[in-house]
Structure 1
């Protein structure tokens, strides 16, 4: 009997020590990854989890020379027809804390009743991180997106190529809580000015985000709450999501969309493929 008790105690002690070692190793990995992002170069920047659907123009506190390619594909189940989305975007930092982006978003439809397949527009954007607070693990940024709206493919050569402008100034506030928990607020007005109309349509976008970065990895799970207010009409889509690292420079993001009010659409899905070339800085 005593031998069995000693054996069981030995197993329990081994499991406890192993768990502590594994936890300690993961904590070291977390610390090293955060240190790699924050302290390996200057100026200082804070590691924040970036939302996958309404993403940022560039990392908050971006450093000169950083760049990233994104390819996204998605499906929206509308009440009357399905909508297939695709985008290609390139973002880079020409100066410290300044990010720029060029994006080409496409829409494809499965029904003749749809608005029509098209390249939605040419999107140009800039974002500047004006505050990086190391003691509070907090970053604040201002940005602006300008989209030149384009006509449907079937109308090319029959009318105007550009059909309007979309103006979208925005504000970003992000905070990391400890090593794993991340929160972010992305908000601002979206102003649609269609050619041939005297007045513009304005809506407010309020996107709040919560993410948990998996211990010892670059992967995270989280959720976006994408909220829109237009003429006293409130809409919100909840987007659970996860990011998985495939290689050192490549990641994939998986997003599901669940609308609270299903007036126009039901569920949606979105995949984002992210490639970030290694950033060479002075001294390398």
Structure 2
């Protein structure tokens, strides 16, 4: 009986050692796969400018990758819905971004908003449907530190605010300007964990209403899946307006459908906003010419 017990214990110990060895081997394989993938993104043959791989937020996205290289380009099409209690807000956008030279990115975007009463109700008023603006933007990455896996950039967005769709032809089409300089800092921790802050003032100046000032703070935390550009994470969008802070949490995930095609799925969870409920947002990302080497 004792011999049987000893043999059993030795067998269990051997299985435990084998299981631990398998776990250790898997960790090593994942580390190697991550290192190879990051090296493919950061060290493209023929490119001499360093670049650090960062996870890019999906709702308030960047103008171009931090450390963008000449020739990179990307199309985005996105759609979303936000519960506004009495009515629903549907928004959509199409944008094109490109890098004409290393580290400098440009973007052109057309965002649209459409509103609808909920459950057939007609009480009160809702905002008018509108093509929000013609948005032009640029971003320059002034710091890329491969040693610390850190990138920093400065950018500027200018929006030519457009009239409501039902007022086109009756009022002036161009209602005002939105000025939005911003700063971005990102760091990758190890091979999988990413943090990013995107912040700056947003100044709305309409021709017949004066000036309105908002300060935006966007914090991002992501985990990128080993050997891929897929990630899960949290985007925290905050605005300070008229002395009041509003916060919206946006849990999100990005999935690669092909080497140059990805989809981003985002939920919206307003915090302390009685006039806003849950929302959703989907972004389709197409990068012509993007290839990995493995």
Please give the TM-score of this superposition, normalised by the length of structure 1.
0.93
Q: 1:12 deviation in Å?
A: 3.0
In the alignment, the residues of structure 1 paired with residue 36 and residue 239 of structure 2 have an alpha-carbon distance, to the nearest angstrom, of 38
Find the counterpart in structure 2 of residue 145 from structure 1: 157
Q: 1:3 deviation in Å?
A: 5.4
In the alignment, the residues of structure 1 paired with residue 230 and residue 40 of structure 2 have an alpha-carbon distance, to the nearest angstrom, of 16
Q: Residues 38-77 of structure 1 correspond to what in structure 2 (within 5 A)? A: 38-40=42-44, 41-77=47-83
In the alignment, the residues of structure 2 paired with residue 222 and residue 128 of structure 1 have an alpha-carbon distance, to the nearest angstrom, of 25
Q: Residues 24-39 of structure 1 correspond to what in structure 2 (within 5 A)? A: 24-39=28-43
The match for 1:180 among 192, 195, 202 is: 192
For the pair shown, the structure with the greater C-alpha radius of gyration is 2
Q: Is the 8 A contact 1:149 1:166 kept in 2?
A: yes
Q: Residues 252-263 of structure 1 correspond to what in structure 2 (within 5 A)? A: 252-263=263-274
The answer to whether residue 219 in structure 2 is matched with residue 224 in structure 1 is no
Find the counterpart in structure 1 of residue 214 from structure 2: 203
Task: Show structure 1 runs of 5+ residues with no match.
Answer: none
The answer to whether residue 20 in structure 2 is matched with residue 16 in structure 1 is yes
Aligned length: 279
CA deviations over 1:194-241 (Å, ceiling 9, x no partner)? 1223x3111100111111112233211111111100111111111111
In the alignment, the residues of structure 2 paired with residue 245 and residue 147 of structure 1 have an alpha-carbon distance, to the nearest angstrom, of 31
SS in structure 2 opposite 1:158?
coil
Q: 1:5 deviation in Å?
A: 4.4
SS in structure 2 opposite 1:266?
coil
SS in structure 1 opposite 2:258?
coil
Moved more, 109-118 or 132-141: 109-118
Find the counterpart in structure 2 of residue 250 from structure 1: 261
CA RMSD of superposed structures (Å): 1.6
Moved more, 7-16 or 65-74: 7-16
Give every structure 1 segment of 4 or more consecutive aligned residues whose post-TM-superposition deviation is greater than 4 Å: 2-7
CA deviations over 1:21-49 (Å, ceiling 9, x no partner)? 22222111110111011122321111111
Q: 1:13 deviation in Å?
A: 3.4
In the alignment, the residues of structure 1 paired with residue 130 and residue 161 of structure 2 have an alpha-carbon distance, to the nearest angstrom, of 10
In the alignment, the residues of structure 1 paired with residue 230 and residue 43 of structure 2 have an alpha-carbon distance, to the nearest angstrom, of 20
SS in structure 1 opposite 2:23?
helix
Q: 1:254 deviation in Å?
A: 1.1
CA deviations over 1:41-63 (Å, ceiling 9, x no partner)? 32111111111110000000100
The answer to whether residue 193 in structure 2 is matched with residue 189 in structure 1 is no
Q: Is the 8 A contact 1:90 1:101 kept in 2?
A: yes
